[in-house]
Structure 1
Amino acid sequence: MARFVVQLAFDGDPRRLAVRPAHREHLRGLHDQGRLVTAGPWADDSGALHVYEAADEGEVRDILRSDPYTAVNGYEVVLLKEWTPIL
């Protein structure tokens, strides 16, 4: 397994806020499965940072496709990159 960092940008569309509870529940499920290491929005709610455990980038893209935010085009992927943490 590898770690991947995903940076998201939000556009302020109110449809995203309507599905936020489902999005957060989805993230909790991924965390419980060990697939999501950590996630959270920027303090100004302009986007978010997620760190995933996955076999490859394709798996991360599949995870993103299953996110409730995807159904309402609630974000843009700014960065999706494999990460090698040292600490």
Structure 2
Amino acid sequence: MNYYAALSPMKDAEKSQQYRQDHLDYLGKLAEQGKVFAKGRFTDGTGGLVIYIAEGFEEVEEIVKNDPYVVQGARGYEIHEWTMTTDAVLPEK
């Protein structure tokens, strides 16, 4: 499995708010399948980032293209394969 960083730059803030719950529900289903490593919005309102776990680029691109934010024109997307390196210790939930 590989990690992919999917940037989702804001295209339409109003549509982003309108389809937010659909987007979150979509990511929730993907998380249940083990496809989401991390996710979050940028605090400056310019969009967000999802780190996906997948077999290959094509799988991630298909996932991203079906995100309600992208389908409805609220957000664009840019995908990059990502190699994680960290010494961080994540807190327990």
Q: TM-score, normalised by structure 1?
A: 0.89
Q: What fraction of aligned residue pairs are identical, expressed as a percent?
A: 26
Q: Which runs of 4+ in 1 moved over 2 A?
A: none
Distance in 1, Cα, partners of 2:13 & 2:83: 33
Larger Rg: 2
Match of residue 91 from structure 2: none
Please state whether the residue corresponding to 1:26 is helix, strand or coil.
helix
Q: TM-score, normalised by structure 2?
A: 0.84
Match of residue 80 from structure 1: 79
Distance in 2, Cα, partners of 1:85 & 1:41: 19
**Structure with greater strand percent:** 1
Kept after mapping to 1: 8 A contact 2:5/2:81: yes
Superposed counterparts of 1:1-87, under 5 Å? 1-77=1-77, 79-87=78-86
Distance in 1, Cα, partners of 2:11 & 2:70: 13
Q: CA deviation at 1:12?
A: 3.2
RMSD, aligned α-carbons: 1.3
Kept after mapping to 1: 8 A contact 2:11/2:73: no
Distance in 2, Cα, partners of 1:45 & 1:17: 11
